[in-house]
């Protein structure tokens, strides 16, 4: 297992390294000069050159990349805005905020959104999927399957504003979505995020319903499950002890990918509900051609996805002893 | 100012496409009778020119707002976070609105009526709007008694010197540069040579440029007259910085403020809390109030979100407002049609005026008859409609906004106010006369939902007049980068520009002085007309604001009617909304939005 983890971690580092190079090159490949965005109304070549110099954009790309890597690993005291300890992504071109501090500041919003959303979509999705498999062929199964089909075709940018209009602005049943610090006020944390969680879970739960149902039905037809039934074990015991465990692998795989992607920033959800998480930060980085922020968000998001992929792979061994990770 | 953050807003609007699509269904087109009524109001407004106030006008406290009471917390819903708090870096409207509450300058705009439509420039930290005895080459200011920074330190001429000198330092690169250029008597960015490191390496501006003979007196010396100095010093970008608290680049995060409010907390991109500055003395301030106990800012609120939240008028949003967000295009018509909702709105002009530029560097555009044909043919209705109709845009005659001195409501050489859909017949006759029927016309447009919408209909109008229009899409994120290149491919393309103060001196020279043509500069149509250049020089020397306004008006009319390098399209307007518990809600023409200084919680 240790060897596996080391190997996968090294692979992830290589991927992140390549990703940072690609992001760097793509940024400079864009027909857009970040200096111009800061140049103000009376922009002229001299002002622009001054801005390029202040941002370090007057250096060759390879040199800039080298400085980026060095700062990332060793930190830097060379920024006018102040010291930048490792991991140093530098300071935002647009806001002059330290990028790493900004990422950490936005992380609780994204983690809260992700974990809460995941709790709801797993609870609803898996619960409905299991129920549909348990009641296979009945009206319950058909309703759950059809409902999942309808919900999986919904989009957050449709459901989100609809939920806001109905539940917040017209009926005032729920608070306007906002992120409040959990430690400061757990109740307002919960009430501020309940609508984003529900909307997020509505979209995601549908696919888990379908996946759990089909995986369970497939497992229930496996020989070892049939054997268990033939031995006289109860339906409930066979369902949860044998079939459920076997159906977990595809669910965990997708869940790991979803969780990683959501932790990297649920862009549309955060944008729809005006939540200041990593997704909103990614939008800001792109719109302002903010290279340090863009690199920070990209690498952070990619790290999350890779990390959860490794965790998923490691989980296989625990879920299914037949899987060996050597 | 150019459309502040225009690239970003354009790009963001793509994400808000759902709302913007509704624009096409909302009240559209322009109505001649609406325009006539508006013209009359604007003409009346322009008769009241902005005066430079004396010591009596500059004495605090500000006149009380009727019915105002102190206390309460006001929620402020903003789309964009504040990128800069250092006055020297402030140039976009959101930060300018904030600075009304936290920063003060030597001069400022005092509203002389309660509707926010009449103003005078008065002394803010200074005792008056400035005195000059040599026609604008030397300006003297004296600081008031009792003015302090938030930490209780008295504001002295040393702070004013620091404020001015640090504008030359390399890290200050986003604020206005008028004062620096005037002091250095140099155009472009060469002004930095006067004090390349700012005041940070022991060097200072010589007394031939800036004098501070005692702790209260400041004297500016210019080589050429600059009668607009009181206007310029009222810009947020020239608000005062503490010499003791100047932390250079870090000041952008921790400014030492002078206004009625100070920053209790700021989480960039998330929230900001302003509380009362106890070292602000209302007796020294003829402009601001301090009614509200606390302002809570929340960022990332899109126009549609803030509109719906404020329309819902529940909970804390009952005392909610936005300094910069406007009612989104999708809700605008319904809000204005409902008297109950409308009573919570304010409307007015933004400083921007749209222009369809004609690229004078292209051989095919050098024929004036062709340009006149474009001017007659170009339909403005699609542009107005794309942005939400006449509630959001008003058909323009000239390039000077109704909020700028020199605006002439009757000026409409291409008949746009009476025929906003264009005059294709007249245009076709002109094109035929020039022997250019079916000539190719490359129309560069931004790929925002609005750009897609208006460019299609505008192209159709031009085609009707006999042009072979080729539309070329330009990504919104790089639009201004592309069209400001001298060697660009587009025959016509749209831009917008706003005055920095209510004088055309901040519109015509940056846009149409032929000596300013350069890559990335703002003379988009590349106009280089000797008469315009000479007239600009002459107008810049006029010290009487009324006479100057008349001179600028003449240049504007010559540019629009005789040079025909662009076609004015529309004056940008906006409507903002607030919760039912917000008092003192007034649209201020100079701020170009809600006046935060008068607000109170009912």
pLDDT at residue A23 above 80? yes
Q: With contact defined as beta carbons under 8 Å apart, do B255 and B89 qualify?
A: no
Q: With contact defined as beta carbons under 8 Å apart, do B360 and B366 qualify?
A: yes
CB within 8 Å of B461: residues ≥ 6 apart: B377, B378, B379, B382, B421, B422, B424
Distance from CA of A79 to the nearest CA of B (A): 10
The C-alpha atoms of residue A33 and residue B290 are separated, in whole angstroms, by 42
Measured between alpha carbons, how far apart are the two ends of chain A, in Å?
A: 6
Kindly report the length of chain B.
602
Output the pLDDT for position A226: 85
Among B91, B300, B481, the residue with its CB nearest the CB of A31 is B481
Task: Tell if the CB–CB gap between B520 and A43 is shorter than 8 Å.
Answer: yes
Residue B178, both tokens: 């008028």
**For B125, what's the count of Cα atoms within 13 Å in the CB-facing half-sphere?**
28
Q: With contact defined as beta carbons under 8 Å apart, do B569 and B396 qualify?
A: yes
Going by pLDDT thresholds of 50, 70 and 90, the confidence category of residue A312 is: confident
Name every chain B residue with its beta carbon within 8 A of the beta carbon of A42: 176-177, 188, 510, 522
ipTM: 0.78
Residue B377, both tokens: 């043919």
Q: What chain A residue is nearest to B498 in terms of C-alpha separation?
A: A41
pLDDT tens figures, B2-31: 443 333 333 323 233 222 222 223 233 334
Residue range A62-75: mean pLDDT, rounded: 88
- For Cα atoms A259, A262, A267, give the angle at the middle one, nearest 5 degrees: 170
Residue A244, both tokens: 């459920």
The C-alpha atoms of residue B166 and residue B88 are separated, in whole angstroms, by 8
Residue B273, both tokens: 């809390």
Output the pLDDT for position A240: 82
Among A157, A274, A287, the residue with its CB nearest the CB of B18 is A157
Going by pLDDT thresholds of 50, 70 and 90, the confidence category of residue A81 is: confident
Among A51, A81, A94, the residue with its CB nearest the CB of B173 is A51
Among B2, B311, B519, the residue with its CB nearest the CB of A41 is B2
Q: Is A53 on the interface with B (CB under 8 A)?
A: yes
Q: Which residues in chain B come in under a pLDDT of 50?
A: 2-33, 35-36, 39, 43, 47
Q: Is A99 on the interface with B (CB under 8 A)?
A: no
pTM of the shown model: 0.83
Which burial class, exposed, middle or buried, applies to B280 when counting CB atoms under 10 A from its CB (0-12, 13-18, 19+)? Answer: buried
Name every chain A residue with its beta carbon within 8 A of the beta carbon of B192: 46, 50
Phi first, then psi: give them for residue A137, nearest 5 degrees: 85, -10
Output the pLDDT for position A264: 74
Task: Tell if the CB–CB gap between A46 and B478 is shorter than 8 Å.
Answer: no
The C-alpha atoms of residue B439 and residue B304 are separated, in whole angstroms, by 42
Output the pLDDT for position A284: 85
- For Cα atoms B493, B499, B505, give the angle at the middle one, nearest 5 degrees: 105
Mean pLDDT of chain B: 88
Output the pLDDT for position B70: 96
Among A46, A82, A161, the residue with its CB nearest the CB of B189 is A46
Task: Tell if the CB–CB gap between B188 and A172 is shorter than 8 Å.
Answer: no
Q: Which residue has the tokens 């030492």?
A: B256
Sheet containing B393-395: give its strands across.
B393-395, B566-577, B345-358, B492-498, B440-446, B468-474
Residue A237, both tokens: 């015991």
Task: Tell if the CB–CB gap between B173 and A30 is shorter than 8 Å.
Answer: no
Q: Is A183 on the interface with B (CB under 8 A)?
A: no
Q: Is A105 on the interface with B (CB under 8 A)?
A: yes
Output the pLDDT for position B26: 29
Task: Tell if the CB–CB gap between A105 and B521 is shorter than 8 Å.
Answer: no
pLDDT at residue A132 above 50? yes
Task: Tell if the CB–CB gap between A32 and B481 is shorter than 8 Å.
Answer: yes
Output the pLDDT for position B565: 96
pLDDT tens figures, B446-457: 888 889 999 999
CB within 8 Å of B336: residues ≥ 6 apart: B342, B345, B391, B575
pLDDT tens figures, A138-148: 999 999 888 88
CB within 8 Å of A29: residues ≥ 6 apart: none
Q: Taking CB atoms and an 8 Å cut-off, how many pairs form between chains A and B? A: 135
Residue A111, both tokens: 């983690």
Q: With contact defined as beta carbons under 8 Å apart, do B180 and B94 qualify?
A: no
Residues 265-284 of chain A whose Cβ lies under 8 A from any Cβ of chain B: 271, 274-276, 280-281, 283-284
Output the pLDDT for position A202: 86
The C-alpha atoms of residue A259 and residue A255 are separated, in whole angstroms, by 6
Output the pLDDT for position B380: 96
Q: With contact defined as beta carbons under 8 Å apart, do B443 and B458 qualify?
A: yes
């Amino acid at each position: 297992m240790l060897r596996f983890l080391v190997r996968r971690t090294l692979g992830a580092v290589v991927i992140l390294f390549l990703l940072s190079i690609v992001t760097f090159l793509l940024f400079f490949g864009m027909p857009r000069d970040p200096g111009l965005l800061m140049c103000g109304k009376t922009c002229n070549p001299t002002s622009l050159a001054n801005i390029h110099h202040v941002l370090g954009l007057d250096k060759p790309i390879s040199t800039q990349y080298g400085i980026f890597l060095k700062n990332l690993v060793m930190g830097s005291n060379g920024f006018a805005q102040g010291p930048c300890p490792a991991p140093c992504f530098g300071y935002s071109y647009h806001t002059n905020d330290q990028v790493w501090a900004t990422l950490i500041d936005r992380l609780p919003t994204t983690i809260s959104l992700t974990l809460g959303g995941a709790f709801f979509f797993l609870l609803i999705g898996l619960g409905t999927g299991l129920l549909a498999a348990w009641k296979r062929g009945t009206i319950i199964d058909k309703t759950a399957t059809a409902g999942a089909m309808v919900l999986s075709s919904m989009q957050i940018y449709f459901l989100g504003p609809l939920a806001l209009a109905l539940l917040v602005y017209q009926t005032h049943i729920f608070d306007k979505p906002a992120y409040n610090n959990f430690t400061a006020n757990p109740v307002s944390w919960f009430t501020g995020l309940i609508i984003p969680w529900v909307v997020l879970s509505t979209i995601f739960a549908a696919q888990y319903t379908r996946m759990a149902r089909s995986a369970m039905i497939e497992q229930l037809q496996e020989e070892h499950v049939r054997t268990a039934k033939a031995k006289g074990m109860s339906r409930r015991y066979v369902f949860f002890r044998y079939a459920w465990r076997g159906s977990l692998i595809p669910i965990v795989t997708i869940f790991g990918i979803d969780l990683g992607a959501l932790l990297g920033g649920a862009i549309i959800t955060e944008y729809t509900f005006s939540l200041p998480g990593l997704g909103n930060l990614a939008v800001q980085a792109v719109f302002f051609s903010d290279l340090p922020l863009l690199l920070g968000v990209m690498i952070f998001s990619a790290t999350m996805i890779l990390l959860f992929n490794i965790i998923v792979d490691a989980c296989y061994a625990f879920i299914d002893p037949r899987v060996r990770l050597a | 100012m150019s459309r502040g953050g225009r690239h970003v807003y354009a790009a963001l609007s793509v994400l808000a496409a759902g709302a913007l699509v509704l624009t096409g269904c909302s009240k559209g087109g322009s109505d001649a009778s609406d325009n006539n009524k508006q013209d009359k109001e604007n003409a009346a407004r322009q008769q009241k020119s902005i005066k430079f106030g004396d010591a009596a006008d500059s004495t605090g406290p500000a006149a009380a707002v009727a019915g105002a009471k102190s206390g309460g917390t006001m929620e402020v819903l903003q789309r964009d976070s504040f990128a800069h708090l250092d006055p020297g870096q402030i140039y976009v409207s959101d930060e300018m609105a904030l600075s009304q509450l936290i920063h003060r300058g030597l001069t400022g705009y005092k509203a002389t009526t309660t509707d926010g439509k009449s103003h005078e420039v008065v002394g803010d930290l200074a005792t008056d709007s400035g005195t000059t005895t040599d026609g604008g080459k030397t300006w003297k200011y004296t600081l008031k008694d009792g003015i302090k920074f938030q930490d209780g330190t008295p504001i002295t001429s040393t702070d004013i010197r620091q404020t001015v000198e640090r504008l030359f330092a390399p890290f200050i690169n986003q604020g206005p540069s008028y004062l620096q250029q005037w002091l250095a008597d140099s155009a472009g960015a060469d002004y930095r040579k006067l004090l390349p490191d700012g005041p940070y390496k022991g060097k200072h501006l010589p007394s031939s440029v800036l004098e501070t003979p005692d702790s209260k007196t400041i004297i500016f010396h210019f080589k050429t007259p600059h009668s607009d100095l009181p206007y310029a010093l009222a810009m947020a970008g020239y608000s005062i910085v503490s010499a003791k608290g100047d932390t250079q680049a870090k000041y952008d995060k921790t400014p030492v403020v002078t206004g009625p409010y100070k920053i209790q907390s700021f989480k960039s991109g998330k929230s900001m809390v302003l509380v009362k500055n106890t070292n602000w003395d209302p007796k020294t301030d003829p402009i601001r109030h301090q009614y509200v106990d606390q302002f809570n800012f929340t960022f990332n609120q899109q126009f549609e979100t803030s509109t719906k939240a404020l329309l819902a008028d529940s909970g804390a949003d009952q005392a909610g407002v936005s300094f910069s967000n406007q009612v989104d295009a999708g809700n605008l018509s319904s809000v204005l049609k409902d008297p109950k909702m409308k009573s919570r709105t304010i409307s007015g002009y933004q400083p921007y005026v749209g222009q369809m530029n004609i690229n004078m560097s292209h051989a095919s555009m050098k024929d004036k008859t062709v340009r006149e044909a474009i001017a007659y043919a170009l339909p403005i209705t699609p542009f107005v409609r794309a942005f939400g109709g006449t509630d959001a845009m008003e058909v323009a005659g000239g390039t000077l906004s109704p909020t700028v001195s020199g605006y002439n409501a009757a000026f409409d050489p291409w008949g746009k106010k009476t025929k906003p859909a264009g005059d294709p017949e007249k245009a076709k006759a002109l094109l035929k006369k020039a022997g250019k029927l079916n000539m190719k016309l490359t129309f560069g447009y931004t790929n925002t939902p609005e750009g897609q919408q208006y460019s299609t209909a505008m192209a159709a109008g031009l085609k009707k007049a006999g042009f072979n229009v080729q539309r070329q899409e330009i990504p919104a994120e790089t639009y201004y980068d592309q069209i400001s290149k001298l060697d660009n491919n587009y025959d016509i393309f749209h831009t917008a520009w706003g005055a920095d103060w209510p004088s055309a001196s901040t519109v015509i020279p940056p846009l149409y002085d032929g000596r300013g043509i350069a890559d990335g500069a703002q003379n988009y149509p590349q106009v280089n007309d000797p008469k315009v250049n000479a007239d600009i020089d002459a107008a810049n020397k006029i010290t009487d604001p009324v006479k100057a306004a008349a001179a600028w008006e003449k240049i504007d009319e010559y540019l629009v009617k005789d040079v025909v390098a662009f076609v004015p399209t529309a004056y940008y307007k906006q409507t903002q909304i607030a919760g039912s518990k917000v008092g003192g809600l007034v649209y201020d023409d100079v701020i170009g939005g809600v006046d935060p200084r008068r607000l109170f919680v009912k």
